[in-house]
Amino acid sequence: METPNQNIKPVTTKINEKGNIEIGGCDLVDVAKKHGTPLYIYCEKTIREMAKAYKDAFSSYKKTHFMFASKAFMTKAIVQILSCEGFGFDTVSGGEMYTVKSVLGDLKTCLLNGNNKSEEELNMAIDNNIRLISVDNFLELAMLNRIAKSKNKTVDILLRITPGIECHTHKYIQTGHLDSKFGFDLTQLDEAIESIVEDYKNLNLKGLHAHIGSQIFETKVYYDEVKIMLGEFKRIYDKFGIKLTEMNLGGGLGINYTINDRAPSVYEIAKQIIDSIDKYTEEYNLEKPTICIEPGRSIVGTAGVTLYKVGTSKTIPISNKKYVAVDGGMADNPRPSLYQAVYEAEVVNKRDKNKKEKITIAGRYCESGDILINDVELPELNSNDLLCIYDTGAYGYSMSSNYNRTLKPAVVLLNNGSAKEIVKRQTYNQLVENDMLL
């Protein structure tokens, strides 16, 4: 069964009678006129359909907990939408926790993750009744126990491990292989557990956490991940007598960025996970654990697009290569520069034009590497035309910056013909408000 992460466009995308692209019942030309460009746009229906697909795909496994990987896209509105769909939140910073708290009042549906948490963040998590903390290293174990003891509290924890699984994805977004900055190596796990049992009485070990990577297309890696983790559950029970009850499998399901991508559906990974649990809980004589799934990109990636206004163009005489510049670029989407990410684009207001040319879409920033898409065929572009780049819903807004002292774009949510601004466009006053004169 197909799920929205296998589309390139939001599920409500169509061409209206004017020949313009429409998403969520809204003409993108009208949206750009009202809210300006560059502009992040999200289709609410796509987000909700993807969240529902996760719940349906895992419906046969009753002990499943879903947490949105906040790093993909975190705003108050996304907390409202996904909490309504029954999701909690995987957070990695004080800012992400604060955003959830500002909407829900506490952190009872959240996990705090990360390889270098501060004392301030750990205090915030404990004070706001966080559901779980995923501990990443020995220093953090000691620090967390000290903080919990000072508050006369016991904190439920997971130990994050690196299971030794390498996914065929960009090396910067592989996280489960042995040479990783994240988590305990399996050879360190016993020492961590011994310290909990013998010294850290304010920590309650509930289970293990592993995240094997991002933009994953291989479904079997989830089967292998479960096998390794349940093997550790059995070994830990046999050696320490500790019955672990929670297995956090991370997220990482990929999306289709281009017509050549072949992302699996949520149903495919759910089958691998559930089949593996069935096999290895029986083989190891274990009770079935509560599992946690942490999707991020697959929830919001396809739902989001970015609108740009076309500016100048330049043709290189010796190669005949044509550059067309837009009013954004690497400050609002650094992924092409950082990961060599590839996207599909369409002209919002020229769908009926047959004449096409091969161009390279360049950003406006003072870097030669500020290229959004290389060698794409589009209708001939003129200044002030609108360009829509698909699948920018994950990590565009999250990784945006003020490079070259430009302003961060607004974010607009489209649904049923309504375009609601959920993040205001930054102003020049906001840009300089924290600057100090000598």
Q: How confident is the model at residue 178 (pLDDT cuts 50, 70, 90)?
A: low
Average pLDDT value for residue range 279-291: 98
User: Which letter, b or e, does each residue of 346-368 get, where b requires 16 or more Cβ atoms within 10 Å of its Cβ?
Assistant: bbbbbeeeeeeeebbbbbbbeee
Q: How does pLDDT run across 105-115, given as a tens digit for each residue?
A: 999 999 999 99
Please compute the mean of the pLDDT values over residues 373-381 and round it to a whole number: 94
How many of the other CB atoms lie within 10 Å of CB of 315? 11
Q: What percent of the chain has pLDDT over 70?
A: 96
Q: Average pLDDT in the 101-124 region?
A: 97
Q: What is the dihedral of CA 179, 184, 187, 188, to 10 degrees?
A: 130
pLDDT of 175 reads: 43
Q: 182 or 52, which is more confident?
A: 52
Using an 8 Å Cβ cutoff, are 76 and 422 in contact? yes
Class of the domain covering 4-42+304-432: mainly beta
Identify the pLDDT of residue 182.
78
CA distances from 207 to 111, 251, 288 (A): 13, 17, 12
State residue 170's pLDDT score.
38
| 305 CB-contact burial (10 Å; exposed 0-12 / middle 13-18 / buried 19+) | buried
**Which residue, 373, 370, 425, 368, is CA-closest to 39?**
425
Residue 108, classed as helix, strand or coil, is coil
Q: Say if residue 394 is exposed, middle or buried (CB neighbours under 10 Å; 0-12, 13-18, 19+).
A: buried
- Residues marked active site are found at 366
The SS3 of residue 376 is strand
φ, ψ at 290 (rounded to 5°): -70, 130
At 164, is the pLDDT very low, low, confident or very high (cuts 50, 70, 90)? Answer: confident
Mean pLDDT (the chain) is 95
pLDDT of residue 167: 52
Structure token digits, residue 49 = 């359909």
Domain map of the chain by residue range?
Answer: 4-42+304-432, 44-300
**Distance separating the N- and C-terminal Cα atoms of the chain:** 62
Q: Distance between CA 80 and CA 129 in Å, rounded?
A: 19
pLDDT at position 179? 58
Arithmetic mean of pLDDT, 122-130: 98
Q: What is the reported pTM?
A: 0.95
| CATH (residue range 44-300) | 3.20.20.10
Phi, psi of 360 (to 5 degrees): -115, 125
Counting every residue written for the chain, the total comes to 438
Return the pLDDT at 168.
Answer: 52
DSSP track, 139-204: HHHHHHHHHHHHTT--EEEEEEEE-----SS-GGG--SSSS-SSSEEGGGHHHHHHHHHHT-TTEE
Q: What is the pLDDT of residue 350?
A: 76
Burial of 103 (0-12, 13-18, 19+ CB in 10 A): middle
The answer to whether the CB of 416 falls within 8 A of the CB of 25 is yes
Cα angle 226, 230, 231; round to 5: 115
